[in-house]
Amino acid sequence: MERVRIEAREVFDKLPWPERSWESWRRTPLEKFQPEQRFRQFSTPHFNREEFLKTSPVLESGKPREGWALEVHRASNSWVCYRSEETQTIELYDWFSDFPKAATRVIEKRIQRLPDRMQGWNLAYPTHGLILKVPDHQRISAPLLIQLEEEETISLPHLLILLGKDSEAQVVVRFDARKAPGIFFNGGITYQAEENGQGTLVVDRLLPSEGGFFLSFEGYLKRDASLGSVEVHVGGQVSKSNWKVELEEEGAKGDLKGAYVATQSTHIDMELIQSHQSKHAQSNSLYKGVVASGGKSVFQGLIVVGEGATKTDAYLANRNLLLGSGARADSIPRLVIGNDDVRCTHGSTTGKLNEMQLFYLRSRGIPFQEARRILIEGFFEEVISSIPRVYQEDVLNRIAESLV
């Protein structure tokens, strides 16, 4: 681990901090993150960052709750794991323990591709983290949960998820910062699926009203591997995510979705990159958001097709609903195509609730708030249906509560 962290710090020192002049940050209230000021605070002698660099063993503590195959919880600086019988072979490592070789190779690849200090910070100076490795030829029937209960004012976690050859797993990652008012959260997730690895990844975050949240994700898909991902962003003051999927080898497939709700005084900013590096790969994305009066969302989607990525099939879509005056949703889809033998399309729509549908429901005696909830749930159904069933109700309830 120490060698990896030293390498990350060397790269970090050479990178710039994000600037408002950059296209990816131009619409983001960077002043609310204040990354350079936060880093200076993090680097002072009064803030002993080295106290975080302690190995926290993963403590085994019985069976998971019904509907889950495995649960890993972090609270009070320790990891606690609950396993079913079928997950006994899944490997778990605290970030500051010795890395398995497969993990080291993937993290070193991520480090060499870092674009700026904001994304590199949680690799160079992590406060905590976890590695989850699903071995080859193992198919897990129920989802896996990783829950991080954040309690500090600065949190810099990194998670690494490794899906073995011909394996299948559904992973839900839940960042819960409700106990940390004013938190500055800068997290990272790195993911790799080996040949024919079939993965689902859901990332959700619970923020205090004044919290700031930044997350960078990078996923690598090998031959015939697939990833179905869902980002969920509800509430908080300001959040930004950078989500990038690299289809590295032939036959790789990405099905990428997002659901977000920007309420009053909330800014939600998402950047998605579908990067095709090999032939006969496919990616589809669908991000749907509801923006209430006084809220703002930004979605920037990019399909990149390399020179050798012939027979690429890629689609990018963003759909928004505006509720009330003063709601704003910016949608910026783009294509960068390196050869002609591809099929790439994108689309974006922004509108309001269907008044005829709303009138019909109310004419059947359904109160306005309930009728609106039904229509909004229907709007999100394409995205929410991709979330493991055991977690769907949790997401739907929080969406409904945020719009009361």
For CA atoms 372, 374, 377, 379, give the dihedral sign. Answer: negative
Three-state DSSP class for residue 399 = helix
Looking up tokens 């790789």 gives 252
Three-state DSSP class for residue 12 = helix
Report CA Rg, the chain. Answer: 21
Distance CA 250, CA 131 (A): 26
Token pair belonging to 350: 């922004």
Distance CA 18, CA 39 (A): 13
Per-residue pLDDT of the chain (404 residues; tens, 9 = 90+): 778 889 999 999 999 999 999 999 999 999 888 999 989 888 765 455 555 556 678 889 899 999 999 999 997 788 999 999 999 999 999 998 888 889 999 999 999 999 999 999 999 999 999 999 999 999 999 999 999 998 888 999 999 999 999 999 999 999 999 888 889 999 999 999 999 999 999 999 998 878 889 999 999 999 999 999 999 999 889 999 999 999 999 999 999 999 999 999 899 999 999 999 999 999 999 999 999 999 999 999 999 999 999 999 999 999 999 998 889 999 999 999 998 899 999 999 999 988 899 888 999 999 988 998 999 999 999 999 999 999 999 999 999 999 87
Distance CA 386, CA 202 (A): 9
Run of H or E residues at 154: strand 154-155
- pTM, two decimals, is 0.95
Run of H or E residues at 404: none
DSSP state of 353: -
Q: Please, is 46 exposed, middle or buried when counting C-beta atoms within 10 Å of its C-beta (0-12, 13-18, 19+)?
A: exposed
Distance CA 44, CA 246 (A): 37
The region that residue 62 occupies, defined by phi over 0 for left and psi between -120 and 50 for alpha, beta otherwise, is: left
For helices 368-384 and 389-402, give the axis angle rounded to 10 degrees: 140
Three-state DSSP class for residue 141 = coil
In the prediction, which pLDDT does 56 show?
75
